[in-house]
Amino acid sequence: MSPPKRGVVYLVGAGPGDPGLLTLKAARVLRSADVLVYDYLAAAPIVALAPPDCERIYVGKKAGAHTMPQDEITALIARLGAEGKRVVRLKGGDPFVFGRGGEEATALREAGVAFEIVPGITSAIAAPAYAGIPVTHRDHNTSFVVATGHEDPTKAASSLDFAKLANPAQTLVLLMAMGNLREIAEQLQAHGLSGETPVAIVREGTKPQQQTLIGTLATIASDAERAALGAPAIVIVGSVVREREHIRWFDTSPLFGKRVLVTRPAASAGDFAARLWEAGAEPVLAPVITIEPPDDPHAAEDAIARVREYDWAVFTSTNGVDAFFNGLARRRWDARRLGDVRVAAIGPVTADALAARGVHADYMPPQFVSEEVAAGLLERTAPGDRILLFRAQEARDVLPGTLRAQSRVVDVVAGYKSVVRDDPHIAELAEDCDVWTFTSAGIVRAFLANVPGAETMAGERTVACIGPITADAARAGGLDVDVVALDYTVEGLVEALLAASRTEQDAASR
């Protein structure tokens, strides 16, 4: 009889909001979690890293609205750990920077439950950085202090030492201070700080919704009230705030704050979404298709088994690569099964997927369309050569037709198929976005099937396509296409969106 499974609770810092700031260790423990207990400030793409079968428990706390009291959260994670589960307690920022992680760790120790701490990037330094405000700068200060503006309400009196906090030679960073901002500003002035001391409020720091308000100690409370600026936000007090004028960067991106609809399958949307986050946009995931096995899986299995009979194997997408190598794995084979078969990849992402499996593409066309692939393969093959085209079930017939016309023997094998998702929420998401993106003709058609009246709705939005074939499908569906990537990759699509947005900004400033 095997010994009972030993549980462990990971107190994990999710960082300030931008998923790209999550640590590698945090991502690793998330991917192995049995249960995820997460806060309001944990970004959706980070929560999505947990396995599909992971139990997710939301315990978010916002000012004045607690889903679950802290003592119940602590009891919950202790019980789950005692049951032998791998529990990730996911907190915004860092668990030990006003995250009550110390209290939870103590309770776990007292309960005899194993735990580990995974630090995260605190908003105390990340939010100022994304606002272009360095918390230390040799021309301004010799130290910085992080304090809470919301102390334990059961305490008889505040323990904040305003005499020490009111130091013009240091930067003061206040977390959870919006509810007491006016009183804090008054206390700092009463203890010697000038009313002209620069102050910044950064709301939703590191996110596409980030807002930055600049004022002075004398005006900031009234400024925040007029701007209706509330939590979650941090407050930065000190002359370093003036540096924002010179090194502001995140909220100057031409895509900053725009909501971008990502319609590609969920499994392949991650890189695209991450790139949009980096550009200051908010990716809204609305997959309109799912990837499923083909109608005739036996044909794919047979082609995989006979792959050495071919001179070339051609992969048109990462989905095809995944399907092929999953088929090899089912037979307990690996890349060695390809032997001396030459391999072609349509695009760098497909080539990278092959390289990750130890296969370096012998040919990748300069443009990622069937006509270019056909021309390149004809140059590299001779009449009678056998070519395996492992692709989507619904793909176009241009490539095999062109090759067969030149006496190449082509076996077209469906490694997978794209199935349209029927989801009424897609139309709601599309209406709430500024930009729609499409990465294949099939995705365009699936989107139109889900969004009645898309032609009219598109008039107020930017429609961006990964290449001319996708753009033609969008136009055929009644959409006016605004942006077409010259490089037919998601990276190229983001660059094309950035360029178009810069042009719009330049035109508006004239």
> Do 8-121 and 259-288+421-509 show the same overall fold?
no
Instruction: Give residue 25's pLDDT.
Output: 97
Q: Which CATH code for domain 125-250?
A: 3.30.950.10
Place of tokens 């936000």: 233
The predicted model gives 269-281 an average pLDDT of 89
Radius of gyration of the chain (CA): 27
Would you state the pLDDT for residue 66?
58
Domain residue extents for the chain: 8-121, 125-250, 259-288+421-509, 292-420
* CA–CA separation, 486 and 466 (whole Å): 8
Q: What is the pLDDT of residue 408?
A: 95
Structure confidence at residue 63 (pLDDT): 58
Q: What pLDDT, on a 0 to 100 scale, did the predictor assign at position 157?
A: 57
Residue 62 has pLDDT above 90, yes or no: no
pLDDT at residue 212, rounded to an integer: 97
Residue-wise pLDDT for 314-329, tens only, equals 998 889 999 999 999 9
321 touches 361 (CB < 8 A): no
- Sheet with strand 409-420: strands edge to edge: 289-292, 409-420, 386-392, 312-315, 342-345
Say if CB 80 and CB 11 are below 8 A apart. Answer: no
Which residue, among 389, 417, 398, 370, has the nearest Cα to 315 in the 3D structure? 389
Give me the chain's average pLDDT, please. Answer: 92
Of the candidates 272, 287, 304, 294, the residue with the CA atom closest to the CA atom of residue 395: 294
Query: Does the domain spanning 259-288+421-509 belong to CATH 3.40.50.970?
Result: no
pLDDT tens for 445-503 read: 999 999 999 999 998 899 999 988 899 999 999 999 999 998 888 899 999 999 999 98
The predicted structure's pLDDT at residue 21: 94
CATH number of 292-420: 3.40.50.10090
Distant-in-sequence, close-in-space partners of 322: CB < 8 Å, separation ≥ 6: 353, 416
Query: Catalytic positions, please?
Result: 39, 61, 176
Rounded distance between C-alpha atoms, residue 135 and residue 124, angstroms: 9
Closest CA to 135 of 48, 202, 41, 85: 202
- 207 close to 256: Cβ distance less than 8 angstroms: no
Instruction: Render pLDDT for 71-128 as a digit per residue (tens, 0 to 9).
Output: 999 999 999 999 999 999 999 999 999 989 999 999 999 999 999 999 999 999 999 9
The confidence band for 372, taking pLDDT boundaries of 50, 70 and 90, is confident
Tell me the three state secondary structure of residue 322. helix
Which CATH code of 3.40.50.1980, 3.40.1010.10, 3.20.20.60, 3.40.50.920 fits the domain covering 8-121?
3.40.1010.10
User: Is the pLDDT assigned to residue 224 strictly greater than 90?
Assistant: yes
- Of 126-140, 253-267, 390-404, 436-450, the poorest mean pLDDT is in 390-404
CA distance between the termini of the chain? 77
What was the pLDDT predicted at 421? 92
Mean pLDDT of 257-264: 95
pLDDT value at position 152?
62
